[in-house]
Structure formats: structure tokens, C-alpha cells
Amino acid sequence: MTNEKTNKPPVEWAELLKEAVNKPGTISKAYSHFWRYSPGNQLLALWECHKRGIEAGPIATFKGWQGLNRWVRKGQKAITLCMPVVFKKKVEKEEGTEEEVSFRKFIYRPNWFVLSQTDGEAFEPEPIPGWDEATALATLGIEKKPFDMLDGNVQGYARDKTVTVSPIAFAPEKTLFHEVAHVVLGHTLEGLMSDSEKTPRSLQEAEAESVALIVLESLGLPGAEHCRGYIQHWYRAGEIPEKSAQKIFKAADAILKAGRPQSA
């Protein structure tokens, strides 16, 4: 599992992404069991369950299960997830005074157990919340504008904090999430991002298409197979870097959370 001293993950994020791309249904299964966690942690939890032969299901900490009147069976080993930790550090300012500043870093800890590792009272999983496009766009601060391009090959495009989808787009949901991903990933800071046949198959396009795949398959919307084909083709040209995989999971998490009810 995790090396506490070096804080290395059980598996690289890029490897989890590649497995999800190559195995249809992996993302939807992970989301159905672990939707309260980030997409990266969802896939990490599913990967650990498969690796150790544990039946996938809802997860909680040792104390979390106790609060639900369930107890972790003796001898069960926890699964590892990535968790944020906030710490404070004194920083010297230009004028020579010190200021206490908060920092956040991510660490890997084996703190969670799956339902199948516990016994106790009957447990009913929370229903998966719905997702609303208008709520997500408003939360992300993204405006959806009418399509105004004459090029019939263009399915949609993103500029600054706006996205546009052609009324005759082949896969409108996929196109929307692809363009929203460009904004969330920060690609539009570099100018117009256009999704057309002429778009270079760059790493930025692979990142946006990967985000679209995660969101589509998590929500059970059509178009994931088209994302998968593009990304698989890109993989034949090279690997998606670890840093890009981290950005992809973070962007997908932001989009999925943005469209849920505030109570979820």
C-alpha cells in the first residue's frame, strides 16, 4: 500500500485514467459506488477493491462505520485514498515581519473500509443526486452562448468563460462537456478553443476529451464511446502525463460537483 515516508500513491493517476479509458463501464461503476468522492479517488477505490478481491460498495472510515452501527471485521485492511490536509507555516514578509499562512497538500492514507468489510445493522446507500446543466454552469461561472460560426465542421467552441454548442452537433452533451473542460482546465486563457475536424490533436484536446468522458460516463449520458475512441487513438501516439491526469480528474470533479444540489 502507501509508503508513509515518501507518500507515494498505490498507483499513478495516469495509470488509473488509462485503465478507465480502455475498460468501458469502469467510470460508471466507480461513480455508482463512490460518488461522494473525487473521480480520481473513485477509480482508486475501485482499483483497490479489484486488486484485493473486495466487493465494491460504499466506504467510510472506522469511526464512520461505528456511527452507522456497523463494525469493521477483525483483520480487515483499510483502502488508501488521497486526502487534503491543511497546515500552517510562518512566512517572512518583505518588511521583516512574519505572517502565518495556510497551505494545503494532498496525502495518501489507508483510512477507509468498504461495506463488504463490515458487519452490523442493515445499511441503505444514499441515492445518487441528480445533475443540472444550468446549475453547473452558474456555479462554474461559465456562460453558454448561441452558436455563431459559419463553419459547419465546428461542433462547438470555448472562449474565455463562455462555451457554445452547434445546434446540429453530432453529440451535444459530449461537445458541451468538452468545451466546459477547456474552460475549467484553463485552456481558454490561451485563446479560442474550437472543436472541429481541423483541431490539432494536442495534449489539450486529449485532456478536455478525457474530462468529457469521465463526466458523461459518470452521469450515464450518451457520447462516451466517441470520447473513448479519440483518447485511445491519442494514446497510440503517446502517454498522457501524470500531471495532465491529475488536472483531468480535478476538472471532472469540479464539473460534477457544480451541477449537484447544494445539499449533496
Q: What is the pLDDT of residues 169-202, one digit of tens each?
A: 989 999 999 999 999 999 888 655 555 443 334 7
Would 264 be classed as within a structural domain? no
Strand partners, 79: 112
Q: What confidence tens digit (pLDDT) does each residue in 218-264 have?
A: 999 999 999 998 888 877 767 889 999 999 999 999 999 999 998 77
- pLDDT at site 190: 63
Indicate the residue among 120, 150, 174 that finishes a domain.
120
> Angle, nearest 10°, between helix axes 242-258 and 13-22?
70
User: In Å, what is the CA distance from 10 to each residue of 55, 184, 185, 241, 254?
Assistant: 19, 27, 25, 17, 24
Name the E strands within 67-160.
70-72, 79-92, 98-114, 118-120, 143-144, 156-159
Residues 148 and 231 in one domain: yes
Residues 110 and 142 in one domain: no
- pLDDT at site 195: 53
Contact indicator for 17, 209 with CB cutoff of 8 Å: no
Domain that holds residue 35: 13-120
In the predicted model, what is the mean pLDDT of residues 40-47?
A: 97
Q: Is the pTM of this model over 0.85?
A: yes
Q: What confidence tens digit (pLDDT) does each residue in 52-109 have?
A: 999 999 999 999 999 999 999 999 999 999 988 887 777 777 777 777 777 778 899 9
CA distance 123 to 241: 40
Would 3 be classed as within a structural domain? no
Residues 138 and 238 in one domain: yes
Would 1 be classed as within a structural domain? no
Look at the chain and report how many structural domains it folds into: 2
Residues 101 and 60 in one domain: yes
Residue 166 CA, chain-centre distance (Å), reads 26
Residues 249 and 143 in one domain: yes
Residue recorded with cell 482508486: 44
Indicate the residue among 68, 88, 120 that finishes a domain.
120
Contact indicator for 249, 38 with CB cutoff of 8 Å: yes
Residues 175 and 96 in one domain: no
Residues 92 and 150 in one domain: no
Q: Map residue 152 onto helix, strand or coil.
A: coil
Would 94 be classed as within a structural domain? yes
Would 4 be classed as within a structural domain? no
CA distance 26 to 50: 11
